[in-house]
Amino acid sequence: MCYRVIPSPDAEANIESAIQWYVLEDVDLAFRFIAETTTTLRRIARNPFQFPVVNHVVRRALLKRFPYAIYFSLRGDTVVVTAVLHQRRLTAWTTD
């Protein structure tokens, strides 16, 4: 089963902010970030249960080459992405 992935407006803003930062650093880096984020979202869609629960029902998927994590929860056959955060901003998502 492949889950449908729906990013929240906050998650979309997180991704856009990261892309803008990487564009200022190096356009190639921005394209690699987009590709890595897309790949990770596809992995989540194929098997969301492979990622650990970090806060009750919120799961975390780490990007492999960038210091970002995708936070999501499951609602039926839908994955709701709530945030895409730099790993230094994780405290609010991993503590409760």
Rounded to 10 degrees, the C-alpha dihedral 72/74/75/77 comes to 120
pLDDT for the residue numbered 91: 54
Asked if 84 and 68 touch (Cβ cutoff 8 Å), the reply is yes
pLDDT for the residue numbered 88: 81
- Say how far apart CA 60 and CA 81 lie, in whole Å: 10
Asked if 60 and 54 touch (Cβ cutoff 8 Å), the reply is yes
pLDDT for the residue numbered 92: 53
> CATH second-level architecture of 4-94?
2-Layer Sandwich (3.30)
pLDDT for the residue numbered 96: 47
**Under-50 pLDDT residues of the chain:** 93, 95-96
pLDDT for the residue numbered 5: 98
